Amino acid sequence: MKREIKFSLLYRDMWQSSGKYVPRKDQLEQVAPAIVDMGCFFRVETNGGAAEQVNLLYGENPNPAVRAFTSVFNKAGIQTQMLDRGLNGLRMNPVPADVRQLMYKVKKAQGVDVTRIFCGLNDVRNIIPSIRWAREAGMIPQAAMSITHSPIHTAEYYINMAEQLIEAGAPEIALKDMAGIGRPETLGKIVYAIKKAHPEITVQYHGHSGPGFSVASMLEVAKAGADILDVAMEPLSWGMVHPDVITIQAMLKDAGFLVPEINMNTYMEVRRLTQSFIDDFLGYFIDPRNRFMSSLLVGCGLPGGMMGSLMADLKGVHAAINNNLTKAGKEPLSEDELLVRLFEEVEFIWPKFGYPPLVTPFSQYIKNIALMNIFSMSKGEARYTMIDKNTWDMILGRAGKLPGKLDPEIIELAKKNNYEFFDGNPQDNYPDELPRFINEMKELGWDRGQDDEELFEFAMHEKQYRDFKSGEAKKRFDKELLSEMEKKFEKATVSEKIPDLRALRHPNAEPVVAPVRGQVLWEFDFEDHSIAPIPGTMYKEGDIICALQTNYGIEFVKALFEGKIVDTVKQQGELVQKGEIIAFIEAS
C-alpha cells in the first residue's frame, strides 16, 4: 500500500520571504475559496510570524483579517497553521508569560488549529511552556527544530532535541529548515530516527528554496517517513520562497507515494489572484532578487524569510558605506558586491557568536552585526563597535542558551562593557504585563475585543498597535507607498511617463492596456524584436491582440471591441507593467 504524503500551503510565509508586506483582509478573502478549490492542501499557513505586525504597519487591524482568512478553511475542513516564535511570541523580542499564554486562547478562538513553536536558539525551555499552553487552549502544538548546518548541528543533536520535545508532550515535530541549508542525507537520518522511535508522532518538513537543497531534502524526508511537506505556488514559489506544489507532487508520485491531485484550473486562479495583489501594491516592496535562488546562501546560511528586510536594509546603508569608502580613496561597492561582502561577514562572525541557528530574530541579530561591521570598517574602525541591546541579550544568555561557545574576543568585549552572563530560565527575565495593558485600555476607553483579541494585540505589538489606533501607521504607510511609486516613475522611460503623447495623435482610439506585468509577445518568436502588428490590422471582439510572458506563464490580451490597430507603444520582448499602454485600437 502506498504511503500518503500531505501538503501544507505556506501562504503567509510566501509573502514574508518575498517582500515587506502581506495581503490585506479583502485580498485574503478573495483568494481563500480558490485555495480550497485546489483540493490538494491538508493545511494552510494563515498567520503568525511577522504577518500580524505587518498588518498594523500598514494600518489594518490583523484580528478581522485572521478570522476572515481562517473561517474559509475551517468550513472546508482544512487545518489552519500559524508560526509562533516561542519566547518571542509574534514579535522580535521576548514576551511575558501571561501574554504568551493569552495568545493561544485568542488564536484558537480566531480559528487557528496548529501552532508551530520554535526557538531561534533551539533552547527547549523556550518551547516547552508553549506546548502546554497551546494544548490547554485546544490547539495542536507542533514543536519545531530550527535546522542549520555547522559542526555542532549534527543529526544526533536534532534527534536528542526531538526526544526532549516529544517527552514534553509535543504530538508533532517540525523540521524548520528556514535557510534551506539542511543537507538532505542528514535530514533523512533525523526523520527516520524520530519515526522509528515514535511512529505516532506527525513529522512536517519546511524548507526554503534559496540555496537549492530543498527539493532533494523533501524526497529524503518523505522516504524517511515524514507526513507533511510545506510547499508554495506561483507566482511566489522558488527564489527565496519554497518549492512549488506541482514539482513536489510530480516528484513524489514518481517515487511511489500517494499524493493529492491538484485542480489546475483553480491553481491558475490562485496564481492570478496572487499576481493581482503584487500588481496592486505588494510588488512595490518585493526586491526582484528575491525571485532568484543563490548558492551563496550555502555558506552564510541566512534564511529565506528575512531576504525582503535584508535587501531593504542593504539599500538603506549602501550609500553611507560607499561615501566612507570614497572618502578613504577606495572603490565604492555595487549592491551585488555589498551583498557578497555581507554574506562573507556573516559566515566569518557566526561561529564567534556560538552558532545560533540563523532564524528570526537571531538571523537579524547576526546580520545586523555583520552589516554594522562592514559600515564600521568602511570608516577605518574595528568590528563590533555597534551591537544593540537585543543582540547583547542573545550573547549574554538572556534569550536562551547558545548552541556553541562564544569566542574569547566576544567574552572579553562583554566584560569590558561590564555585562553579566545569565544561565537561568529566559522567561524569568520578562515578568507578566497584562494587568498594565488592561488598565491602560480601560483608561483610554479601548475595547478589549472579541475573546480579548485587541488586548492581546496591544500587549504583543505595543508600539505598532498605538500607531495603528492613532492613524499614524496608515499615514506612514501611504507616504512610503507614494515614495516607492515615485521611485518607479523616476526610472520610467519618457513613453512610460507620458503615454498620452501618442494618444494625442489618435484622439478616436482606445488604449490597449496590460492586465499584468510581463514581456510583450506580438508573435512567439523570441529572437525577432522587430515584430509588431502593422497599423491597420483588424481585430474582432475577443481576438488575441498579443500575449504577455509573465513570471508564472502566458497571459493573453484580447480586443474588447472590433477595430483596427492604429499605433503600437511596446515592441516585441519589451517589459510592460500592469496598467501600461501596449497599443491603440480604433473602433471600425
pLDDT tens sequence across 27-44 = 999 999 999 999 999 999
Name the strands in the sheet holding 581-587, side by side, starting at the edge strand that comes first in the sequence: 510-513, 581-587, 563-568, 538-539
Report if residue 570 sits inside a domain.
yes
Asked if the model's pLDDT at residue 314 lies above 80, the reply is no
Q: Are 145 and 111 in contact (CB under 8 A)?
A: no
Asked if the model's pLDDT at residue 502 lies above 60, the reply is no
Residue 235: name the closest of 278, 264, 289 by CA. 278
Residue where a domain terminates, one of 397, 413, 429: 429
Q: Are 85 and 91 in contact (CB under 8 A)?
A: yes
Asked if the model's pLDDT at residue 497 lies above 60, the reply is no
Same domain membership, residue 318 and residue 425: yes
Rounded distance, CA 361 to CA 56, Å? Answer: 19
Same domain membership, residue 498 and residue 388: no
Q: Are 277 and 227 in contact (CB under 8 A)?
A: no
Q: What pLDDT, on a 0 to 100 scale, did the predictor assign at position 309?
A: 61
Same domain membership, residue 311 and residue 419: yes
Cα 468 → chain centroid: 22
Same domain membership, residue 415 and residue 304: yes
The confidence band for 262, taking pLDDT boundaries of 50, 70 and 90, is: very high
The confidence band for 531, taking pLDDT boundaries of 50, 70 and 90, is: low
DSSP three-state, residue 82: strand
Q: Are 175 and 145 in contact (CB under 8 A)?
A: yes
Residue where a domain terminates, one of 395, 429, 463: 429
Same domain membership, residue 498 and residue 425: no
CB-side exposure of 361: number of CA atoms within 13 Å?
Answer: 23
Asked if the model's pLDDT at residue 305 lies above 70, the reply is no
Q: What pLDDT, on a 0 to 100 scale, did the predictor assign at position 358?
A: 84
Asked if the model's pLDDT at residue 496 lies above 70, the reply is no
Report if residue 8 sits inside a domain.
no
Residue where a domain terminates, one of 412, 429, 446: 429
Residue 513: name the closest of 550, 554, 482, 559 by CA. 559
Same domain membership, residue 404 and residue 317: yes
Q: How many CB atoms lie within 10 A of CB 35?
A: 27
Contacts 24+ apart (CB under 8 A), 470-475: 471/59, 473/56, 473/57, 473/58, 473/59, 474/58, 474/59, 475/59
Q: What pLDDT, on a 0 to 100 scale, did the predictor assign at position 504?
A: 61
Highest mean pLDDT: which range of 106-120, 332-346, 556-570: 106-120
Asked if the model's pLDDT at residue 498 lies above 70, the reply is no
- Looking at every residue in the chain, the average pLDDT score rounds to 90
Q: Kindly state the average pLDDT of the residues 550-555.
A: 81
Q: What pLDDT, on a 0 to 100 scale, did the predictor assign at position 78?
A: 98
Domain, as residue range, for 405: 297-429
Q: What pLDDT, on a 0 to 100 scale, did the predictor assign at position 289?
A: 77
Residue 241: name the closest of 490, 13, 551 by CA. 13
Asked if the model's pLDDT at residue 528 lies above 50, the reply is no
Q: Kindly state the average pLDDT of the residues 297-320.
A: 72
The confidence band for 526, taking pLDDT boundaries of 50, 70 and 90, is: very low
Q: What pLDDT, on a 0 to 100 scale, did the predictor assign at position 65?
A: 97
Asked if the model's pLDDT at residue 527 lies above 80, the reply is no
Alpha helices in 452-549 (DSSP H): 453-460, 462-470, 472-491, 494-497, 500-505
Report if residue 166 sits inside a domain.
no
Rounded distance, CA 565 to CA 533, Å? Answer: 7
Q: Are 518 and 549 in contact (CB under 8 A)?
A: yes
How many domains does one find in the chain?
2
Q: Are 97 and 432 in contact (CB under 8 A)?
A: yes
The confidence band for 298, taking pLDDT boundaries of 50, 70 and 90, is: confident
Q: Kindly state the average pLDDT of the residues 451-463.
A: 97
Report if residue 311 sits inside a domain.
yes
Q: What pLDDT, on a 0 to 100 scale, did the predictor assign at position 315?
A: 72
Q: Kindly state the average pLDDT of the residues 547-567.
A: 87
Q: Are 413 and 384 in contact (CB under 8 A)?
A: yes
DSSP string, 120-131: TT--GGGTHHHH
Q: What is the pLDDT of residues 352-393, one digit of tens each?
A: 999 998 888 888 889 889 888 998 899 898 999 888 888 999
Report if residue 149 sits inside a domain.
no
Of 480 and 173, the one with more pLDDT: 173
Q: What is the pLDDT of residues 76-98, one digit of tens each?
A: 999 999 999 999 999 989 999 99
Rounded distance, CA 222 to CA 409, Å? Answer: 43
Look at 219-233, 235-249, 280-294 and tell me which has the smallest mean pLDDT. Answer: 280-294
Report if residue 317 sits inside a domain.
yes
Asked if the model's pLDDT at residue 23 lies above 90, the reply is yes
Report if residue 148 sits inside a domain.
no
CATH of the domain at 506: 2.40.50.100
Same domain membership, residue 307 and residue 402: yes
Report if residue 378 sits inside a domain.
yes
